[in-house]
Amino acid sequence: MKKAEDRSGYLFSKGYSNYVFMLLFLLYMFDYIDRTIVTSMFTSIERDYGISHMQSGLLMSAVYWAIVILTFPVSILVDRWSRTKTIGVMAIMWSIATALCALTGNYVQLFMARLLIGVGEAGYAPGGSAMISGLYPIDRRARMMGIWNASIPLGSAIGVMLGGVIAVKLGWKHAFGIVAIPGMIVAILFLFVKDYKTIDLSFVDKYSNKIKMEKKDMVKEFLSKPSVLFTYFGMAAVVFVTTSMLTWLPTYFEKMRGIPQETAGKMASSVMVLALIGAPLGGYLTDHWRKSRENARLLFPAVSTLFSAIVLFIALALFKGSFQYVLFLIFGVLVLAFISGAASVTQDVIHPGLRASSYAIAVVVQNLLGASTAPVIMGKIYDLTNIQTALSILPFVLLVGAILFWLGSRHYVKDLGTVAQITLEAE
């Protein structure tokens, strides 16, 4: 095993790096299976517990609220202690919490168990992004981020599909118990993965003196980088839309198309699983474009998000039936193409010792403004109007995201030039 980054930019051997990456991918997939399985079971849960659409939305929001509160403290633990140990413990915790959902007897208990899932998942995205940034060279970063983030739609689609199928065949509580087991197994394996050494938080001043970072320097590291600030809020806009679609698209198919619950869950999962194409493809295209356009890491998210807004608007406003579904499928490819470049920017322009913290800020912003609010806001609009009206606001939210990414692209090159150059070392 290598002691420091080799000339190709790999921290460990390529084979071992890919093994660690595989475990990270599986954990993110199970993260989203456990997170989203509840959405296609809303009808069953509402019937059993007598709750409203907004209360159903709260079962998704509960996870994101816990993430918002805890992700930044946990990310500091990731950056300053151990990425592998923190990730393993978190994954064990969210798997246990998912199993507890199967043992609940009323809505309050289910809500609290969903909160506990969020507690476990709070630091995974920051920890995983920091690990991948350390494992691979910068010219492969967007590509690997894209493949890793493809686990989000894959896990979401599996969760939505399994929830509908198991709820019909066995009852909705069984779904939680079934999906908790494999995530626990992968989490235990990850506890034994090698890590890189914790990075000294220091910078070199204009006189070439090495200076240890103080809290004000850490704050300045983020506030002085407009590219990453615009990226945080651009990501929040897109996450608002993807969470809304994950949460309410099965219901849209049930209510607007008269499709049975089980089939509606499968159709919705098919839309979101196509991000399996969009996320890695976005990473590949971003890295390729970056060879001729250095700020492609944010230009590509601006373009792909704009196109996804246009396609979703056309699907909701102009068409019904089979052609509308085809447009939804195209939207599924486009909507997550942004993530590779945007996630890479949160790592590119920030001190290497603060990478997990940087992605934690992204998680806080996107969950506070996007994921945690989307199910409730959309559920409330649905309660007041109908599901068609609720979903019709989403293309305009995507337009805002595209504008934010474009604004960030105007600062990316300058911000990249100010980053401390530090070589990572394996433990």
What is the average per-residue pLDDT within 295-305?
94
pLDDT one-digit tens code per residue, 105-155: 899 999 999 999 988 888 788 788 878 877 887 777 778 888 887 888 788
Residue 233: partners with Cβ closer than 8 Å, 6 or more residues away = 365, 369, 404
What is the reported pLDDT for 3? Answer: 44
Whether residue 425 lies inside any domain: the answer is: no
- 232: DSSP letter: H
Residue 8 has pLDDT above 60, yes or no: no
Q: Which tokens go with 297?
A: 């890491």
Average pLDDT, the chain: 82
pLDDT one-digit tens code per residue, 371-384: 778 878 888 888 88
What is the reported pLDDT for 6? Answer: 46
What is the average per-residue pLDDT within 164-182?
83
Residue 207 has pLDDT above 60, yes or no: no
Does residue 66 contact residue 93 with C-beta atoms inside 8 Å? no
Does residue 193 contact residue 86 with C-beta atoms inside 8 Å? no
Residue 395 has pLDDT above 80, yes or no: yes
What is the reported pLDDT for 194? Answer: 80
CATH number of the domain within which 372 lies: 1.20.1250.20
Q: Which tokens go with 138?
A: 């910068």
The range of the structural domain enclosing residue 118 comes to 14-416
Whether residue 424 lies inside any domain: the answer is: no
d(CA 45, CA 24): 31
Tell me the pLDDT band of 425, cut-offs 50, 70 and 90. Answer: low
d(CA 361, CA 366): 8
Whether residue 60 lies inside any domain: the answer is: yes
Residue 40 has pLDDT above 70, yes or no: yes
Higher pLDDT, 184 or 71: 184
Does residue 58 contact residue 111 with C-beta atoms inside 8 Å? yes
What is the reported pLDDT for 420? Answer: 63
pTM above 0.95, yes or no: no
What is the reported pLDDT for 203? Answer: 54
**Structural domain tally of the chain?**
1
Whether residue 8 lies inside any domain: the answer is: no
Question: Helices in 102-225 by DSSP H: which ranges?
Answer: 107-121, 124-135, 141-149, 151-169, 172-190, 215-223
Higher pLDDT, 74 or 410: 410
What is the reported pLDDT for 204? Answer: 55
pLDDT one-digit tens code per residue, 89-112: 888 998 999 999 988 889 999 999
pLDDT one-digit tens code per residue, 221-268: 777 889 999 999 999 999 999 888 877 888 888 877 777 776 777 787
* φ and ψ of 24, to 5 deg: -60, -40
What is the reported pLDDT for 7? Answer: 43
Whether residue 7 lies inside any domain: the answer is: no
What is the reported pLDDT for 4? Answer: 46
* φ and ψ of 372, to 5 deg: -75, -30
Q: Which tokens go with 125?
A: 């995205």
What is the reported pLDDT for 1? Answer: 39
Name residue 162's beta-bridge partners: none
Does residue 342 contact residue 301 with C-beta atoms inside 8 Å? yes
Whether residue 422 lies inside any domain: the answer is: no
Whether residue 126 lies inside any domain: the answer is: yes
Residue 5 has pLDDT above 50, yes or no: no
